[in-house]
Amino acid sequence: MPIPANGRYSTDSTLTERREVIVVGGGQAGLAIGYFLAQQGRDFTILEAAEEPAAAWRERWDSLRLFTPERYNSLPGRPFPGDPDRYPGRDEVVAYLADYARGFGLPVELGSRVLSIRMADGGYLVELDDRTYEADQVVVATGPFQVPFVPAIAERLDPEVVQFHSSAYRSPQAMPEGPVLVVGGGNTGFQIAKEISDSREAHLSIGSRQMPLPQRILGRDLFWYLEATGLIRKTTASRIGRRLSGRDTLIGSTPRALRRHGVKLHARAVDAAGSTVSFSDGTKLDVRNVIWATGFRVDHSWIDVPVFDESGRVAHQRGVTESPGLYFLGLTWQHTRGSALLGWVKDDAGYIARQIGAFRSGQPDEAGGPGARRSPDLTYRDRRRAA
């Protein structure tokens, strides 16, 4: 159906609007690309599912301190305020992102969850429950940490055992009394177990050891060294980038330091029954509270465009997919370690913005741009069915 000159028409009571570019997700990645699109003078909208800006950060625990100091938390065009060597808290990031969107007048539509993206007439249909957008190009910036993952053994615990995913943890005070087992040896598990151990008995189950890195070395922050040595910008195409991307890092803590702090360490949690959790070394623990700091999965099942590989992962080159005009931004290790971090997402955002700018001419901005694509074959759902 042709789009009328005013860009709007209505079918079956569903309003359809037209935009040159739609950005899905209004977190730091969506805002960073929004900044560049605004600079290019594009006709675009950022669709954000949550009712408030910075939704992902709002859902993190009360005492969270960033592992990146303020000097490395700036999105393009606006420095993160305050002492560059300070590690800000959660609410400061929320305030910064809200200010950022307001300050640049970015067109963020809150309460706008995208339910599907489909190909149509050389562009895309972006569908919400109450309206649809037609767009030439779409950027998916829905975050690297979407769906809380809890292992299946959790179901075997009695209902009397209080258990929840780390994304629901706020503070020790907000938890029922008694000892707490935190499961998961990443940064989140370490930080939560440490905080809980200040006021009660805390246990931490570490499934796989992550590479511990000190937060500060000789008075300088870790990220200063990663910048100075260029490691933060090593790409997944390089040997060192590939090696680094395969290993999670534990910043500013070690198992030994945590033990000294009073946290009791356990091996991988492998089973549960009643109120008992069993560990891979044969030991067991009676539990009353369990926090699953066991990570997140991404969910792209709502994207009905053939850009996924056999295991359901997005097939892309630095966020540029094989489907012309469809991009991803903010994926973990999308291009470098910095891809999913506040201070470096601008590198990929600038790159995608240049691809968007070059799209009409059909000329890729750099190697790997639109002209480098192969033709798509399977959708996410096809791949999942085949797997």
Partner residues linked to 283 by β-bridges: none
What is d(CA 157, CA 141) in angstroms, rounded to the nearest whole number?
36
- Asked if 340 touches ligand FAD (CB under 6 A), the answer is yes
Tokens encoding 362: 């059909």
- Asked if 141 touches ligand FAD (CB under 6 A), the answer is yes
Tokens encoding 55: 């939704």
What is d(CA 319, CA 76) in angstroms, rounded to the nearest whole number?
18
Choose one: 18-26, 192-200, 241-249, 304-312; the region binding ligand FAD (CB under 6 A). Answer: 18-26
Choose one: 25-33, 100-108, 273-281, 376-384; the region binding ligand FAD (CB under 6 A). Answer: 25-33
Report in angstroms how near the CB of residue 384 gets to ligand FAD at its nearest.
17
Tell me the one-letter amino acid at 56.
A
- Asked if 67 touches ligand FAD (CB under 6 A), the answer is yes
| Closest CB to ligand FAD among residues 145, 292 | 145
> Is-contact 50 370, C-beta < 8 A?
no
Residues 142-161 that bind ligand FAD (CB under 6 A): 142-145
Neighbours of 35 (CB within 10 A): 21
| Closest CB to ligand FAD among residues 134, 278 | 134
The one among 341, 349, 353, 356 contacting ligand FAD by CB under 6 A:
341
- Asked if 98 touches ligand FAD (CB under 6 A), the answer is no
Residues 180-209 that bind ligand FAD (CB under 6 A): 188
Strands 289-292 and 180-183: parallel
Total residues in contact with ligand FAD, by rule CB under 6 A: 31
- Asked if 346 touches ligand FAD (CB under 6 A), the answer is no
Binding mask 45-64 for ligand FAD (x = CB under 6 A): --xxxx----xxx--x----
> Minimal CA–CA distance to 22: which of 385, 270, 343, 326?
326
95 CB-near residues (< 8 Å, 6+ apart): none
What is d(CA 134, CA 119) in angstroms, rounded to the nearest whole number?
10
Angle at which helices 90-103 and 28-39 pack, to 10 degrees? 20
Partner residues linked to 120 by β-bridges: 123
- Asked if 28 touches ligand FAD (CB under 6 A), the answer is yes
- Asked if 327 touches ligand FAD (CB under 6 A), the answer is no
Strands 44-47 and 108-109: parallel
The one among 22, 66, 75, 138 contacting ligand FAD by CB under 6 A:
66
CA distance readout (Å), 17 to 23, 25, 128: 14, 18, 11
The one among 8, 113, 242, 243 contacting ligand FAD by CB under 6 A:
113
Which residue's C-beta sits nearest to ligand FAD? 27
- Catalog residues that contact ligand FAD under the rule CB under 6 A: 24-30, 47-50, 55-57, 60, 66-68, 113-114, 141-145, 188, 330, 340-343
